[in-house]
Amino acid sequence: MKHSAGDLPKGTDFVLLPLAPARDLPAGAMPLAGGPLAFAHLRAIAISEGRPVASREMPSSEIASWLAALPPPARARAERRLDALQAPRPPVPLAGGKRTLGFARPLVMGILNVTPDSFSDGGRFVDPARALAQAQAMIAAGADIIDVGGESTRPGARPVWEEEERERILPVIEALADAAVPVSVDTRHARVMEAALDAGAAMVNDVSALTHDPDSLAVVAARDCPVVLMHARGEPQRMQDNPAYEDVLTEVFAYLDARIRACEAAGIARERLIVDPGIGFGKTLRHNLTLLNGLAALHALGAPLLVGVSRKRFIGALAREEVPARRLAGSLAAALAAVDKGVQILRVHDVAETVQALAVHQGLIDGLLMDRAAVAAATRPC
């Protein structure tokens, strides 16, 4: 603690980290992103020039007096962050104007890689019929969104020529245009976004948060579609070389906050923005763990959160499993941990297994609420 509340530097902002968000907290706990999770304790970290300069942990009952003691400009920022942290996330209107994404329960986004290296033949060609069958299987298994990508953005990947990316994904998106669930297009290229939206895609997923292609902000603004803004450090080819942060949670928070403002300035409605810390994109194991443990702080950005942990390398590192396809159990453990931080959308390879894990997780929550109601109904206060 280098500063007391009264002498915080000018321009101080705050990262507000709810400690131990839970579902069975007593009245007086504060809702996280509209609930059903809530938190009874908060760590407030004062940020100046991108660095943490002061911190304080407090029970929710002390938050009002903490705010009151802050100098007025800092207080206004802290209040705005605290409001965003607690506010419900309204449904996101999809492109096409007919459907929305609602967040009453965690949604499952199924990954459909239409890239040659993702299929077992390892060849150069992509079979649209095969990709389509995989999409139908994910829908039958309970996917809420299908994320179609034609450019591998894996660490170390080479960029794909745009024309080839478009040719890979368009037949698949066209065939899914009338599917029961919306399609998102995973691309960094404005022309690919346009073509995919024309072909029936309902939203954009951009691992560069609309920074890679200078036209992409304008395309998303013109099409009025939702967009996932993901944090990444560096280009895919070199991003795992030596990722370094002074404070990864603060820096990811500040980056996503800046991208939200850039999108708003470009005319993209705030209600269409979804944010993602980009697990594995220019991050060490330690960075990934800090981000997953600190995920709840990102709700103060005021947007629904999407997280992709499925089969990622940090799971291999923790569980000592080299083969991505054998990382299902670890992926489910990480996915449920993210749900316990209030994440609204999970991006996964294994839809059926994730849906089953979520059903058991939700069943336990429902049971808890019924037990509480039963006790309240059967007893009198004492």
Footprint of ligand 7PM on this chain (CB under 6 A)?
A: 111, 152-154, 186, 205, 207, 228, 230, 276, 278-280, 306, 308, 310, 312, 347
Of 151 and 162, CB closest to ligand 7PM: 151
The distance of closest approach from Cβ of residue 117 to ligand 7PM in the complex, given in angstroms and rounded to an integer, is 9
The distance of closest approach from Cβ of residue 88 to ligand 7PM in the complex, given in angstroms and rounded to an integer, is 22
Residue nearest to ligand 7PM (CB): 308
Indicate which residue of 312, 313, 327, 341 is catalytic.
312
Of 12 and 152, CB closest to ligand 7PM: 152
User: Token digits for 375?
Assistant: 């006790």
Indicate which residue of 81, 166, 272, 347 is catalytic.
347
Element (H, E) at 339: helix 328-339
Cα–Cα distance measured from residue 30 to residue 304, given in angstroms and rounded to the nearest whole number: 18
Of 47 and 201, CB closest to ligand 7PM: 201
Chain Cα centroid distance, residue 189: 20
Site of tokens 């940090």: 314
CB 314, CB 288: distance < 8 Å: yes
Measured N-to-C along each axis, helices 216-223 and 190-198 cross at an angle, to the nearest 10 degrees, of 20
Q: What residue type is 94 in one-letter code?
A: L
Cα–Cα distance measured from residue 219 to residue 224, given in angstroms and rounded to the nearest whole number: 9
CA distances from 105 to 37, 101, 206 (A): 11, 11, 23
Residue 2's contacts (CB-CB under 8 Å, 6 or more residues apart) are 53, 54
Of 31 and 278, CB closest to ligand 7PM: 278
Is residue 347 part of the annotated active site? The answer reads yes
Beta strands in 89-195 (DSSP E): 92-93, 100-101, 107-113, 145-149, 183-186
The distance of closest approach from Cβ of residue 228 to ligand 7PM in the complex, given in angstroms and rounded to an integer, is 5
The distance of closest approach from Cβ of residue 364 to ligand 7PM in the complex, given in angstroms and rounded to an integer, is 26
Question: Are β-strands 145-149 and 306-308 bridged in parallel, bridged antiparallel, or unpaired?
Answer: unpaired
Is residue 98 part of the annotated active site? The answer reads no
The distance of closest approach from Cβ of residue 369 to ligand 7PM in the complex, given in angstroms and rounded to an integer, is 31
User: Token digits for 372?
Assistant: 């509480």
Of 12 and 208, CB closest to ligand 7PM: 208
Active site residues: 312, 347
